Amino acid sequence: MAKIKVRHPVVNLEGDEMAGVIWKDIRSLLIEPHLDIPIETYDLSVSHRDRTGDAVTLEAAHAILRAGVGIKCATINPDAAKRLELSLSHPLKSCNGSIRAVIGGVIFREPVLCPGAPTLVRRWTKPIVVARHGFGDFYSAAELAVPGPGKLTLRFDGNDANGKAISLERTVFDYPGPGVALAIYNLDESFREYAQTCLRYGLQRGLPVVFSTKNTVLKLYDERFKKIFQDVFDEQFKVDYEREGLTYEHRLIDEMVATALKGEGGFVWACKNYDGDVQSDFVAQGFGSLGLMTSILVARGGAVVMTEAAHGTMTRHYREYQAGKAVSSNPIASIFAWSRGLAHRAKLDEDSYLQRFAMELERACRETVGAGMMTRDLAQLIGPNQPWLTTKEFLNQVAARLDLALAHDGRREAPPPHQLDEFVSTHAGQARSLLGRRPSGPKGRAQLGAAPP
């Protein structure tokens, strides 16, 4: 069968350890046999980042901005022990943090739901997409060790909305003895952008959006965030949401945690920075395995996307691999990094063949698990006697199903409505205009069953 010719490049970001091994297998077994695609590769393995003084990470980030699509393997975020183990000479920053500093955007984490793979929270039958605000709060806080008794004040010197000089000051606490202090900040503009990105994403995906804060305690800080989110919804999204039968609401974070656990899923959970950090791990585990958790960074109004698995490099599994043992790491989230990245490429290029390939790749993963063939992490959820495959055996099964699906071409029925399909189709116009490209062909779901040339 002829390969699908893809016109524009994707940026491939290579990584470390077990994730890096699986990454190469995914390319050779699932991508390269079917796609004739320009792939710009950047080696973000920790040793290469170290050799380049981390310049390669910045180059990669700018390449993603140019191409509109980055597909990233997990990378080591070295701590002191890792620096010693690998004899690293540079104090490398978090790879993802460096990339985000260049392209900005919001991270959405979402589980892959596979029939036959039970979730740990059995009620969750629909995805919960956790969004995390990535600016300010605790992650850029100013901390102070208070040595003894004294007064702590919060003071602002600057201008008011009309440009007039102003000073604001309030007493935080009268310390009777030693302790600690912390100040955090945020920006209206960052709140606004976050609200827009989350609400646009909910609309694309056909999912209601819930935003959670602790506005009962932070009556000014969180209340401002809540108000801006509501204003953005009322002014820019309300009509579209009503038309699509979707909802937006704000909830107290405590109530939201309880509601999420009681429900069946099926919503975008827009979180503040710290809540998103914590709740994304809670949700990931609730859905069963880190190997099913995908992560997508949506930037520049949806025009630029970087996809990856939410898990790390799986050091423990890599040690087993190095010792020559059979490894059963789950490659699904890494495969979905490819399928979602390629789907974005398809959306930008209005390429229905590539779009269909991305859907078939995801379908092949789900059907393989549905047929009872899975890696150990999923098998353990079913029970101790459930048989499991090694990573390589699982990948071979997915490859066989994918080959079959693509070979069927026109004989296979058009795929049913699918979350990727919605993700792909909705934002094509806007993304294209942001990148200054013209549409180059017909679009729409009707084409999805068409045979590649």
Interacting residues toward ligand NAP by CB under 6 A: 74-77, 96, 289-291, 308, 311-317, 329-330, 333, 377
The pair of three-digit structure tokens given for residue 447, joined into one six-digit string: 């084409």
Which residue has the closest beta carbon to ligand NAP?
A: 312
Classify residue 291 by burial, with Cβ atoms within 10 Å: 0-12, 13-18, 19+: buried
**Tokens standing for residue 289:** 């395995």
291 binds, among ligand NAP, Mg ion, none (CB under 5 to 8 A by kind): ligand NAP
* Buried/exposed 95-106: b ≥16 CB within 10 Å, e otherwise: bbebbbeebbbb
Please state the φ and ψ torsions of residue 437, each to the nearest 5 degrees.
-100, 150
77 is a site residue for Mg ion (CB under 5 A): no
Q: Which is nearer to ligand NAP, 314 or 424 (CB)?
A: 314
Binder of residue 272, out of Mg ion, ligand NAP, none (CB less than 5 to 8 A by kind): none
Identity of the residue, 279 or 330, whose beta carbon is nearer to ligand NAP in the bound complex: 330
β-partners of residue 294 are 110, 309
Pairing of strands 69-72, 304-309: parallel
Q: What are phi and psi of 190, to 5 degrees?
A: -70, -40
Closest contact distance (angstroms) between CB of 47 and ligand NAP is 13
At 220, which amino acid appears? L
Residue 349 CA from chain centroid, whole number: 22
Which of helix, strand or coil describes residue 18? helix
| Closest-CA residue to 13 (of 351, 366, 295) | 295
CA distances from 209 to 243, 308, 312, 427 (A): 15, 23, 28, 18
Count of residues of this chain found to bind Mg ion when the rule CB under 5 A is applied:
2
Q: How far is the CB of 282 from Mg ion (least distance, A)?
A: 9
Residue among 277, 320, 393, 403 that touches Mg ion (CB under 5 A):
277
Question: Using CB atoms, what's the residue nearest to Mg ion?
Answer: 277
Cβ at position 59, least distance to ligand NAP in Å: 17
CA dist 286 and 9 (Å) reads 36
The binder of 284, among Mg ion, ligand NAP, none, by C-beta within 5 to 8 A per type, is: none
Least Å from the CB of residue 191 to ligand NAP: 25
Find the shortest distance in angstroms from Cβ 414 to Mg ion. 39
**Among Mg ion, ligand NAP, none, what binds residue 281 when CB lies within 5 to 8 Å by partner kind?**
Mg ion
CB closer to ligand NAP, 74 vs 361: 74
3-state secondary structure of 364: helix
C-alpha–C-alpha distance, residues 320 and 38, integer Å:
34
Q: Residue 314 binds what, of ligand NAP, Mg ion, none (CB under 5 to 8 Å, by partner type)?
A: ligand NAP
Minimal distance in Å, beta carbon 311 to Mg ion? 12
Smallest separation, CB 281 to Mg ion (Å) = 5
Segment near Mg ion (CB under 5 A); pick from 18-26, 53-61, 236-244, 275-283:
275-283
Say which entry of Mg ion, ligand NAP, none residue 277 contacts (CB below 5 to 8 A, set by partner kind). Mg ion
* Strand, coil or helix: 419: helix
CB of 298 to Mg ion, least distance (A): 19
- Minimum separation from the CB atom of position 15 to ligand NAP (A): 6
Q: Choose from ligand NAP, Mg ion, none: what does 196 bind? Cβ within 5-8 Å by kind.
A: none
Q: What are phi and psi of 235, to 5 degrees?
A: -85, -30
Are residues 34 and 406 in contact, defined by beta-carbon separation less than 8 angstroms?
yes
**Which of residues 215 and 330 has its CB atom nearest to ligand NAP in the complex?**
330
Residue 409, Cα to own-chain centre: how many angstroms?
31
Positions that interact with Mg ion (CB under 5 A): 277, 281
